[in-house]
Amino acid sequence: MPLPLPAPHHHHHEKHYGSSASLRDFVVGLSDGLTVPFALSAGLSGAVSSNAIILLAGFAEIIAGTISMGLGGYLAGKTEIEHYEGEQKREEREVREIPLKEEEEVKEILAAYGISPSLQGEVAKELSRDHAKWVDFMMRFELGLEKPDPRQALSSAFRIGLSYAVGGLVPLSAYFFCPNPAEGFRYSSVITILCLFLFGYFKARLTGQNPLKGAATVTAIGVAAAGAAFGIARLVNG
């Protein structure tokens, strides 16, 4: 009689999204890229009569914004790396110079997770035998710091800058095909508002928020910025 086959084992699959740093960079770049050039083109549409001026100013702003946003991302990434390295050196010094105090801090961390006092002591002693792992434990659980990727600064600069440039081209696209700024602004508004809504919707989904609320919030910010710029331009221009 053949032996029964074992029941198929169903693995539990958890749904995770990509790197939070990458997602943050794309969100920051795309959000500003859609909003700032949209507000600029809206303001110019209420003040000038040539699409060429709007496109020239828009491209100049996208180039400047891409460089500025990319540089900001690079500096933020470098700062995070430098902060981690500084804290790591401090922890390395402390486990060498005041190991007993550091062991007590390990026990306090474990106690917060409900680990028994006897097991706290065993874990602290085990960690004290390997200073590299001990320091890593303290960085993660005492300071809440994850070791950043050394390539993070350049990667962040590229992601933010590229996202800004892509987002900035959206509101300008209509002015290539429309005969005047007024019509360009109408089509640009429709295209950009749709993109803002979709961007806000998917951003909210990726971050576990209410998609419709996220879409409405992002869209409202973009519309408010563009509306204010257009209104002020019209007011100043008479």
Tens digits of residue pLDDT in 154-187: 888 999 999 999 999 999 998 988 888 889 888 9
How far apart are the C-alpha atoms of 40 and 61, rounded to whole Å?
A: 8
Domain count, the chain: 1
Across 55-64, 81-90, 198-207, least confident range: 198-207
Mean pLDDT, range 49-60, rounded to an integer: 90
Please check whether residue 158 lies inside any domain of the structure. Answer: yes
What pTM, to 2 d.p., does this model score? 0.73
Mean pLDDT, range 88-94, rounded to an integer: 86
The pLDDT value given to residue 19: 57
Please check whether residue 163 lies inside any domain of the structure. Answer: yes
Please check whether residue 146 lies inside any domain of the structure. Answer: no
The pLDDT value given to residue 63: 93
Q: What is the mean pLDDT of the chain?
A: 82
Is residue 27 classed exposed, middle or buried when 0-12, 13-18 and 19+ CB atoms within 10 A define those classes? buried
The pLDDT value given to residue 155: 87
Range 10-16, long-range pairs (CB < 8 A, 24+ positions): none
Please check whether residue 90 lies inside any domain of the structure. Answer: yes
How far apart are the C-alpha atoms of 117 and 115, rounded to whole Å?
A: 7
Q: Which residue has the tokens 């008479």?
A: 238
> Which of 35-44, 122-131, 163-172 is predicted most confidently?
163-172
How far apart are the C-alpha atoms of 192 and 200, rounded to whole Å?
A: 12
Across 66-75, 81-90, 114-123, 224-233, least confident range: 224-233
Per-residue pLDDT for 92 more than 90? no
> Which of 67-71, 114-118, 203-207 is predicted most confidently?
67-71
Range of the domain at 194: 20-94+151-237
